[in-house]
Amino acid sequence: MIPDHLFEPFRSPGLDLPNRIVMAPMTRCFSPDGVPGDDVVQYYRRRAEGGAGLIISEGAAIDEPAAVTNPRIPRFHGEEPLDGWQRIVDAVHAAGSAFFPQLWHTGAARQSELSANPEVEAISPSGLFAPGQAVGRAMTDADIERLVAAYGQGAEDAKRLGCDGIELHFAHGYLVDQFFWPEVNLRADAHGADRYLLAEAIVAECRRRVGPGFPIGLRFSQWKQQDYDARIFANPADLSAFLTRMVDAGVTIFHCSSRRFWEPEFEGEALNLAGWTKKLTGVTVITVGSVGLNQEFLVSRTGVDTAIDESRLEALNGMLARGEFDLVAIGRALLADPLWPRKVRAGRFENLITYSKDAERTLA
């Protein structure tokens, strides 16, 4: 079955897409000294030409010294890196797709000893990477002010470059998600009493910098790289409290990261995390989680070849048809085969290139 709803155009305030397919952000580390070169430009161009309606970049470091570990992770600050991003934006637009950079700070996930500036400590809410696992130092009020300003500058630069929006990476146990997580946010100040305060401030600053009408996306998750079973939101009421504040601050798109898109988020209803987010907010929502693979995210990362599961595509198509979410992010399947959207639309499932770990070793 061809999932026809995947290929319907999508329009929302500030965003006009040819279809519902989003290239999910995936860390690649092919930008020496943080500067995306021609190979990175062509990598994104190929996915746009292959039919992904919206390209979300790999996580790009904001202008904060402890943002990331690997010096080959692209930076979203400085003249030379931003020139590289300009070329990416232009290439994606020329291929008919929209482009969002994903703005990122890894927090206590940073490994300072492996970085280009090992003298800079990792920063986080309380100097913890995981419960009981000390890494780096707790952030000061001045650190928090600088962080908010750095995200705002990234948003402003994205708009200046002609990006169609931005995505804020607040998921997977990285810095802002560490503030959400009570097991590692042990602060005794306002940011401990109100775990959403930092996220709210970042979103509001980004909105102030870009003005009304410019899409601001926010990626969040329950699971963490430190604990796949972690849950910030125990029920829909908890989720609603978070979402409402983010929308009020300026978020227009939620990217709801789960490991398996087909699993219900809460007992008693079949909706996944994206489905609940759509139900509670009505704003634009992206689902993600092992789309286009026949094994879940964690299994696919072990190097085992994974092919498409047509029955899950059929289920996904039904969820789209029911309006449970608006857009579908595809990661490793699109990494393996840039032409995945065009092949699926034509029903050429037998011609799809299956994902294996080898796909991560190049920018094919």
Contact 167, 246 (CB under 8 A): no
| Angle value at C-alpha 132, between 228 and 265, nearest 5 degrees | 25
Identity at 170, one-letter amino acid code: F
What is the distance between the alpha carbons of residues 250 and 152, in angstroms, rounded to a whole number? 12
What separation in angstroms does the CA of 214 have from each of 15, 206, 246? Answer: 9, 10, 15
For 173, counting Cβ atoms within 10 Å of its Cβ (0-12 exposed, 13-18 middle, 19+ buried), the class is buried
Instruction: Provide the CA 267 distance to its chain's centre, in angstroms.
Output: 26
Instruction: Provide the CA 50 distance to its chain's centre, in angstroms.
Output: 20
For 26, counting Cβ atoms within 10 Å of its Cβ (0-12 exposed, 13-18 middle, 19+ buried), the class is middle
- Residue whose token pair is 């995210």: 297
What is the distance between the alpha carbons of residues 305 and 74, in angstroms, rounded to a whole number? 28
Range 65-99 burial, b when 16+ CB lie within 10 A, else e: ebbbbbbbbbbbbeeebbebbbbbbebbbebebbb
| Angle value at C-alpha 23, between 324 and 359, nearest 5 degrees | 130
Contact 340, 334 (CB under 8 A): yes
Q: For the chain, how many residues are written?
A: 364
- Annotated catalytic residue 196: no
End-to-end CA distance of the chain: 28
For 353, counting Cβ atoms within 10 Å of its Cβ (0-12 exposed, 13-18 middle, 19+ buried), the class is middle
Spot the catalytic one: 174, 196, 228, 355: 174
Active-site residue list:
174
